[in-house]
Chain A
Amino acid sequence: MAEVKANGFLGWLLDPLQSTREQAEPRYRLPEDVRIWAVPLAIGVGLLIVSLVGWVIDAHQFYFSYLVGWTFCLTLALGALFFVMIQHLTRAQWVVAVRRLPEALLWTFPALIVLFIPVLFGLHDLYHWTHPEVYDPASPEYDPILAGKRAYLNVPFFLGRIAFYFFIWTLLAYKLYTLSVRQDVDPDPSIPAQQRKVSAWGMPLYGVTVAFASYDFLMSLDPHWYSTIFGVYFFAGAFFVALGFITTCYAILARRGPLTGIVRAPHFQDLGKLMFGFTAFWAYIAFSQYMLIWYGNLPEETLWYRHRLEHGWEVLSQVLIWGHFALPFLILLPWAAKRTPLLVGTMGVWFAIIHWVDLFWVAMPVLHAEHLTFHWLDVTCWLGLFGIVVGLLFYRLSRHSLVPQNDPYLARSLALH
């Protein structure tokens, strides 16, 4: 039985395993062409270098733009993690042919830890609760409400929590990703049960860490505001964007790449169903949060929406209603649409754009409450980080089989109709 060896430390950050490309069936390999991963990576690095110029000019703006871009990549990985775990738990058979890409996407977490370093320098700019004067009763800046939250909102505990989240996520990613790659070369019959087991204990941990991560990274940007559904809102957006991204990648791989004839219309139909369902789910959560706050109209909660409904931000709120819900809902509704790779692939691109708008709309009014402001840094940080994530993803995919080639359900998944 072939054993998959671990990589050295730096390599481990990019891919924990040595290449198993040689053992992959030729049909399941990405072409030798390094441009597939090097081009997005180069674009990403280039744009981040450009963003550094922005940091010199306007550090405050840079940190906010960077946080939105970084959170975007985080939601991509978190959505993929949920995707993989839920498929293992429900013993889904259809999904096997389209499971390797989300599995490889999981290994984005270590890179995200490294990419989080710039945010550490910007904590003071981003998070009002990091300012010591708000806790000082003698200071004019004293804020009794924030002083009451100090036990939770303080930098050491904040960093400790983030370390904990990433420990859990990376551990889950490591288990699920390496088990699946190991199966490519070693068809150990116990692997599916192991994957299910990891998913079983991983799922509750996932729920708790994702919710608290959403409070830490996004909700505490406006530390007076609170909403119990916010964790679910964050998760709904994450799964939404990950489904779109996975579908788009497969649409490309199946149209022009090695997966032609392997990933077919029925797989796209199922992915399209999930995209459709989670469009509706996101809308349900977003509407519930908005409607209940609007209805109760309690000042401490309503303020958050007031900032997003005036000074130009109302335009983005409308864009979200129509672009994040109505448009994908109507387009993805017909049976035929979900089976058309070109269409669901295009929708996946739209999902990414609109999900970024969603995160922008959550975070940015904290910085620009007075008027809606787009900055070139928003785009460079977002696409820079996104490019790096995509580049690393395809780097990993080029080293291993593109489908879990010894999964017991693979034949059934390939025969899906």
Chain B
Amino acid sequence: MAHATKDLSALARTDHEVEPPLVQGGLSFHDITELVAQHTEKKTPKAWWAAFSVAFLGMLTLVAMLAYQVWNGVGVWGNNIPVGWGWPIVNFVFWVGIGHAGTLISAILFLFRQRWRTSINRAAEAMTIFAVICALIFPTFHVGRVWAIYWTLPIPNQMEMWPQFKSPLLWDVFAVSSYFIVSLVFWYVGLIPDLATLRDRAALMGRRLRAKILGFFALGWCGANRHWRNYEKVYMLLAGLATPLVLSVHSVVSFDFAVSIIPGWHTTIFPPYFVAGAIFSGFAMVVTLMVIARKAYGLENVITVDHLEKMNIIMLVTGTMVGFAYITEFFIAWYSGVPYEQYAFINRATGPYAWAYWIMMSCNLIFPQFFWIKKLRRNIPFMFVASIVVNIGMWFERFVITITSLHRDYLPSSWDYFVPTWVDVLTLIGSFGLFFTLFLLFLRFVPMVAMAEVKGVLPEADPHYYETHGDGHSRSAEVQVNRGRSS
């Protein structure tokens, strides 16, 4: 060991490329607390109320549609007999996919020690939880008899009847519900130190009730060494558990299709390909939300363009993977020599749904490739448009997989065309209403950036920092001037 340290002094060459700091504007520990916490403490801004009203209206639309559908039956949707799975399942896969980026950012990037995740993980995990809530609505309500949905649970009953454990739809129940619970626990564990911060601030401001409520949720956190040691271990364990979980959840969702024998559905690449697509669309949604949030909440120094660029690179990578899967599917369909398989893909590209297929192809295969250009990767208006385009493309991907494979399969006598009804459309719009209602509530009441973690990546958090930067009590004058917008 002594040998190694001796080497270091000889080798301590300066870095050729100095990485830009993760947090810019020379923010101190206190600045970060101020910047993040103030939004949960001040009076609700008008813009928030405006956004919330719109979102809440959307949520009411969703509730109305679901009530209407339960009362009248699933026939109010456009589903028909060959196309038994229409928009509800498309939306389900879409929303589950959106949720995956949050877990990727919080768990997988944590395992890979990617410190840039700290600025975005809180919002991304919240997004996961709300997207999973939106997702869970669809499998619940797309059944004909929602009041019997508890039959899917293996509960001992007077009929001695159990669910069929070979059905991937049952695996979905287990996968998505455990995914929801683990994501929620993970998010909450991450929140505890920040809730303690808010509790202490509320007490200082003399807001007793607020301090009590926050104190209840902070579970008596006082940031002791022993707390932090256990906290870090738990966080690592949860990250280690959440990673296989996140991969398995979307794989299970892909099994819903891939275990069948429908041409276009039955293909072995679905599990990893769905996971890649989920990360792709999830990151697009994170970029969409972060571009708005950092502007609205003045967090440009915490969520910097470097963060957004890294997210765009992940989008580029996963988008290319998805594109590669498209090509693979197409090639193997031809290579298989199975006429049904071959027709399924010809039909996608040239049949009645060719428009959907080409929307999907251009949005997912072509658009992310613009991110090869560094200028565009760092261009905020461009990435905002691109992230929305990607999510449109990914919604269409699920639409194409679900509907084009069903509407024409083995028997030409059971070919049909699927047309969505107004209920389909309003339910989809309503699910966005629910998502944004929850997300806006989160922005209002919970610190949207993980303060404790961002402080950990500041240069001052490095134990060797003060060896070269004085005693830490006097910040330099220029930094004082450059404080972020912490007014």
Interface residues of A (CB under 8 A from B): 27, 90, 94, 145-146, 148-149, 152, 187, 189, 192-193, 200, 203-204, 207-208, 211, 215, 224, 226-232, 260-262, 264, 273, 280, 284-285, 288-289, 291-293, 295-296, 298, 300, 406, 408-411, 414-415
Contact = CB atoms under 8 A, between A and B. Distances in A.
Interface in B241-290: 244, 247-248, 251, 255, 258-261, 266-272
A293 B268 contact: yes
A228 B268 contact: yes
Given A284-B247, A296-B266, A261 B336 contact: no
Contacts of B7: 27, 261-262, 414
B335 A226 contact: yes
Contacts of A295: 259
Contact of A228 (B1, B8, B112, B267): B267
The list of the 5 closest CB pairs from A to B, nearest first, reads A228-B269, A229-B268, A261-B3, A189-B16, A295-B259
Contacts of A215: 335
B332 interface: yes
Contact of A296 (B16, B260, B271, B338): B260
A292 B258 contact: yes
A228 B328 contact: yes
B161 interface: no
Nearest to A273: B111
A303 to B, nearest CB: 13
Contact of A204 (B15, B268, B324): B324
Contacts of A285: 271-272
A342 to B, nearest CB: 18
A408 B4 contact: no
Interface residues of B, number: 45
B271 to A, nearest CB: 4
Contacts of B112: 90
Contact of A292 (B270, B317, B336): B270
Contacts of B3: 260-261
B402 interface: no
B268 A264 contact: no
Nearest to A333: B240
A106 to B, nearest CB: 21
Contacts of A415: 8
Nearest to A297: B261
B336 A300 contact: yes
A407 to B, nearest CB: 9
Contact of A414 (B8, B17, B247, B335): B8
16 contacts: A90-B112, A90-B114, A189-B16, A192-B16, A193-B17, A207-B321, A226-B335, A229-B269, A229-B272, A261-B1, A284-B247, A284-B272, A292-B259, A293-B268, A295-B259, A296-B259
A292 B270 CA distance: 10
Contacts of B1: 261, 264
B247 A231 contact: no
B268 A411 contact: no
Given A207-B321, A288-B251, A410 B11 contact: yes
Contacts of A207: 320-321, 324
B337 interface: yes
A123 B69 CA distance: 62
B12 interface: yes
Given A189-B17, A229-B268, A300-B336, 16 more contacts: A94-B113, A187-B16, A192-B16, A207-B321, A227-B268, A228-B329, A229-B271, A260-B3, A284-B271, A292-B267, A292-B271, A296-B260, A300-B338, A406-B13, A410-B11, A411-B13
Contacts of B338: 300
Contacts of B271: 229, 284-285, 288, 292
Interface string B106-125: 00000111100000000000
Most interface-central of A145, A215, A227, A232 (chain B CB within 10 A): A232
